[in-house]
Structure 1
Amino acid sequence: MKYFVISFLVFFMGCKATQTNLEDSYIDKEKNRVLDKEKAYVDAEPITVTAGTCERSTGNKNDFYSEGDY
């Protein structure tokens, strides 16, 4: 029983180290991917809620408009 507990602990300690290496590798790849995408959007103008209007709306751009059935 004593050897089982020791081998069990050693096994899970080894798994944790492997998991950390995989997490670090994933984080590095994801960080590089996100930073590459960021370069494309850093100078882009934001699209606001009031940027678009509907011709069928009788109000201005700040009025709520819906064509839903109520």
Structure 2
Amino acid sequence: EKTHFVGLSIGGMTAQGIMLKHADRLMSVVIANSMGKVAPEFVSAWQDRIDLSREKGMDPLIQPTMERWFT
């Protein structure tokens, strides 16, 4: 079966990966507020968050995320 896919932000990056690996399963794709290439500083920031979540769970990420998104 084929589907439509909408990706917002990091979901847009997911959409790009799906397009590359499973284009035959897509009818259409919408990508919004996303990037096609990730700058090295973003890779480092994401890896830091991944490491922190693995070590201490998601709680330490809540406040910084809220501040980034809503201030």
Relative to the length of structure 2, the TM-score reads 0.26
What TM-score do you get using the length of structure 1 for normalisation? 0.26
Larger Rg: 1
Q: Which has the higher strand share?
A: 2
* Structure showing greater relative contact order (alpha-carbon pairs closer than 8 Å, 6 or more residues apart): 2
